[in-house]
Structure 1
């Protein structure tokens, strides 16, 4: 707050006090901008003849902090639904606060993992409302706001994680991320890899015909259900926490997830085969409330972007290494049968035909899948 602004406020306060008369304690209705409603003053200071602009100026300076001062450090709150053992947190958000402190003293962040503050949908609501500064979500959830974003969760939109990240961070997706900022005040800071999704089952799955009548558990979002159908399966929307029991009791024939997630959730205990279909190169988006972003100065913005992007690379490496290590371990000890001869081309062709038209992201899907390797 500049000195001229304080002087103006002092004279306004003096005029109002003269008009309404000073009280032994300030009324709860006293304007909060004075920052004096919580202060009890000696009676001699409240006598009309004593109250002056100088006194009010002193009170303002002693009782109110300027906006600039209160913004250093800027304290941020981040939340997501991923477990602490997941690559997203273990290699990423668990280190966010520490990494920020290494590059700036002007930002401080507290991270709430494992759905401590709500479901993915609830966290997005809190983000839009400004109750959260940062959150993480996936394309299928964001597609409920802007349907073309669902393309990143469509089967075989990307060949591998590298192409997915290049697409998500490139010109094809930039206008669609910008729509979130314009319409919902949500800024996409970066896209992180979540992993290559593979199908587990009790029989080998090598081509689309093997999925005929196969009850494949998929997340309930419409994009995921469409991807299950595009593979040739009969998709089932079962909540994540109930998947293990559904597989154990035979309610579902199989499920699909990145290998580290399969391990973390124990799905390898109730399924015999890991079929390396790589049908979705799964991603998550690091989101920020736009109003919070605009509160930061350019140095704070640069520091946050630097750390978020660096952690994204750490998450990518950790995810890939975990998958390779687990597959090799399971192959050696027989935990699961590793089905490597999956006819990926047949699955890709079927998915391309399925998504080529009729979806809000069809044009974008065709554009991405037609780009040369």
Structure 2
């Protein structure tokens, strides 16, 4: 018989409201629950994105709906917009079993498992097709196994986040164009390495503070996928978007191994299928949004879209940097990625 289990104390949220959300979110059913007696295994599924972002409308919510229609007794509750804390804190909570499932970028995870950061290296992949070719390879299966062993977190699949581009109040076509600019990068080892690899001067600013920092002149520019640039209302404080495509953004759909082992084999299969079956639809939503927004900017003039970027120079500079800076497992992973791209 399945009974509801109580997980360890969370201590994630900074406010009472967030604390209440976490308490209500966390805790599924006891190991082996299969829903046959009518009990429901409730799992929390967290992320950092607004409700209208493709990772929610075409991602997490699609997963929740699919499992709701299934008869395995698994119910997903989605907690978007960093309700359960910022990325780094949430990953630790997934590892401890306090949050069941999450969507995390490789760079955020690299603070706990450095090797995986190479997935976010600048110009590691040429585009989403190359990304998913690698994700479906034996090399990635090995990475998943090592990450599980070291962190207690299982990777279910990878979703496309969008090509990352730079915004500023001037074009950025070559590494020289970064001179004198304070560019915001996320505060993670891999993103800061990307900045150095590309020739930019990085300034770490919290995601939630990017608009204000640009408005106040604390930073001069930043980098993000097109849908995120729009979500943050950056056209109000930035005049140019340069389509550098310097990173194929991706996120890993992850689950606590404690939670995973508490599910029956049938439930595990259902959760895995719901996540993996969502990959293509989520990607299409992101790509459709990218194309629509860029065309909107071009037609309205809301942002100047800079397309004549010297990508070859950026790419060769980045590759030389990472081959010099990466060591051991991270270098091996990076070289495996490059080998896949050239095959």
Q: Which residue in the other structure is 1:101 paired with? A: 68
Q: Which residue in the other structure is 2:18 paired with? A: none
Determine if the alignment matches structure 1 residue 362 to structure 2 residue 293. Answer: no
Determine if the alignment matches structure 1 residue 235 to structure 2 residue 202. Answer: yes
Q: Which moved more, 1:85-94 or 1:320-329?
A: 85-94
Question: What are the superposed Cα offsets for residues 333-372 of structure 1, whole Å, 9 maximum, x if unpaired?
Answer: 1111111110111100000011012224233223322432
Q: Is the 8 A contact 2:162 2:250 kept in 1?
A: yes
3-state SS, counterpart of residue 308 of structure 2: coil
Q: Is the 8 A contact 1:190 1:308 kept in 2?
A: yes
1:226 to 193, 201, 209: 193
Q: Is the 8 A contact 1:169 1:190 kept in 2?
A: no
Q: TM-score, normalised by structure 1?
A: 0.79
1:281-320 alignment, distance < 5 Å: 281-320=248-287
Q: Which residue in the other structure is 2:232 paired with? A: 265
Q: Which residue in the other structure is 1:194 paired with? A: 161
Question: What are the superposed Cα offsets for residues 3-48 of structure 1, whole Å, 9 maximum, x if unpaired?
Answer: xxxxxxxxxxxxxxxxxxxxxxxxxxxxxxxxxxxxxxxxxxxxxx
Structure 2 residues not aligned, in runs of 5+:
2-31
Taking the aligned partners of 1:352 and 1:97, their CA distance within structure 2 comes to 39
Question: Rg: which structure is higher?
Answer: 1
Q: Is the 8 A contact 2:104 2:253 kept in 1?
A: yes
Taking the aligned partners of 2:332 and 2:299, their CA distance within structure 1 comes to 43
Closer, same or farther in 2 for the Cα pair 1:217/1:229, shift >3 Å?
same
Q: Which residue in the other structure is 1:111 paired with? A: 78
Q: CA deviation at 1:144?
A: 1.9
Q: CA deviation at 1:218?
A: 0.3
Q: TM-score, normalised by structure 2?
A: 0.85
Which structure would you say has the larger RCO, counting Cα contacts within 8 Å and 6 or more residues apart? 2
Taking the aligned partners of 2:180 and 2:190, their CA distance within structure 1 comes to 19
3-state SS, counterpart of residue 357 of structure 1: helix
Q: Which residue in the other structure is 1:348 paired with? A: 315
1:23-34 alignment, distance < 5 Å: none
Determine if the alignment matches structure 1 residue 86 to structure 2 residue 53. Answer: yes
Q: Which residue in the other structure is 1:203 paired with? A: 170
Taking the aligned partners of 2:89 and 2:339, their CA distance within structure 1 comes to 36
Taking the aligned partners of 2:276 and 2:140, their CA distance within structure 1 comes to 17
Q: Which residue in the other structure is 2:101 paired with? A: 134
> What RMSD in Å do the two structures reach over aligned CA positions?
1.8
Q: CA deviation at 1:262?
A: 0.3
Taking the aligned partners of 1:317 and 1:189, their CA distance within structure 2 comes to 19
Question: What are the superposed Cα offsets for residues 69-126 of structure 1, whole Å, 9 maximum, x if unpaired?
Answer: 6784322122222211211112111232221122334211111111112121221222
